[in-house]
Amino acid sequence: MQHLEQDKREKIQQEYCADEAKELISEEYNEELYLKAIELYKKPFLQLLQDAAIVHKEHWPEADIQRSALLSIKTGSCPEDCSYCPQSARYETDIKKHPLMEVQDIVEKAKVAKENGAERFCMGAAWRKPPRGEQFERVLEAIREVKALGMEACVTLGLLNDEQSRKLKEAGLDYYNHNVDTSKDYYSKIITTRKFKDRVETLRNLRRNDINICCGGILGMGESAEDRMKLVAFLATMDPQPESIPINFLVKFDGTPLENQDDVDVLDFVRTIAVARILIPKARLRLSAGRMNLSREAQILCLAAGANSIFSGDILLTSPLPGYSFDNKLIDDVTKPLNLLNEKEYVN
């Protein structure tokens, strides 16, 4: 009898948590936040950057930049049809597919990332949703091993149910990356094998299990400025707001539907970062994929607009990155004071 009562109480609690999660994460954005985002986006560029700098300094006075690394632990053969993704089984691309890596091989990559300054190690697997059994258990073990290195652990594995979210939390997971990619209105033009609401349901499961959310999008997929601001408004509407927000510059892969898409204007990319900084002040804004499409100066402009994290290393899942040496120097150049004694051109 006691077991029945306990089961009943647990069911009631789960239903309450589910309702609470739905209230906190809606599929819709707050209209006032969207209008504010549009207003900010249309400001003169320098005024917008000034506004973003004020907010950034208030919430991140040390002006630090966090380094993260992202490893593809299982590459290719994904059943989804994301128009930007070379890992989709539906497109003919030249990426090298590989099955789920062994834990020790993952840990070795994490050690290299840590030695090069990465504080967070992210692991991505090209699944629609994690498979049951040994492979999921292997991911859980990898999380525990990364945590043992003293690093933050993050994974991106596709859609999650509540049980999977709970097991990830028990393994010590700090962050789960689950990008919504674009606005709800534009979503079906980019992906048809799942819906925007499916993404949101996974976000609810994460919040229900007290896992920090890493959620952002990709710019340059043919979306309008209004779509970009709807994406920002959606993220800003979440309560609590995401702790981490990746902002990606579209990387175009041969064989994908977006291979010939025009690049988004770099200043529009920077504008979006600045608006996100103002409306989501406490989040780590992550300059993510597409950095090879941006000059050193453009990347610094993104950091000045409010980005305060980069994915470092040679590759981001399947997208090339500048490498640890470039990244470490870039961060030093923008975060350390100029040593006049070592700069001969400034010595009298």
Residue 89 — left, alpha, or beta (φ > 0 → left; ψ -120 to 50 → alpha)?
alpha
Q: Is 17 a catalytic residue?
A: no
Q: Is 82 a catalytic residue?
A: yes
Q: Which of 67, 120, 204, 286 is catalytic?
A: 286
Q: Is 215 a catalytic residue?
A: no
Q: How would you write the chain as a 3-class SS string?
A: CHHHHHHHHHHHHHHHHHHHHHHHCCCCCCHHHHHHHHHHHCCCHHHHHHHHHHHHHHHCCCCCCEEEEEEEEEECCECCCCCCCCCECCCCCCCCCECCCCHHHHHHHHHHHHHCCCCEEEEEECCCCCCCCHHHHHHHHHHHHHHHCCCEEEEECCCCCHHHHHHHHHCCCCEEECCCECCHHHHCCCCCCCCHHHHHHHHHHHHHCCCEEECCEEECCCCCHHHHHHHHHHHHHCCCCCCEEEEEECCCCCCCCCCCCCCCCHHHHHHHHHHHHHHCCCCEEEECCCHHHCCHHHHHHHHHHCCCEEECCCEECCEECCCHHHHHHHHHHHHCCCCHHHCHHHCC
Q: Is 122 a catalytic residue?
A: yes
Q: Which of 78, 120, 194, 215 is catalytic?
A: 78
Q: Which of 67, 85, 194, 215 is catalytic?
A: 85
Q: Which of 154, 199, 207, 277 is catalytic?
A: 154
Q: Which two tokens stand for residue 257?
A: 């539907």
Q: Is 154 a catalytic residue?
A: yes
Q: Which of 214, 271, 277, 291 is catalytic?
A: 214
Amino acid, res. 104: Q
Residues with a catalytic annotation lie at: 78, 82, 85, 122, 154, 214, 286
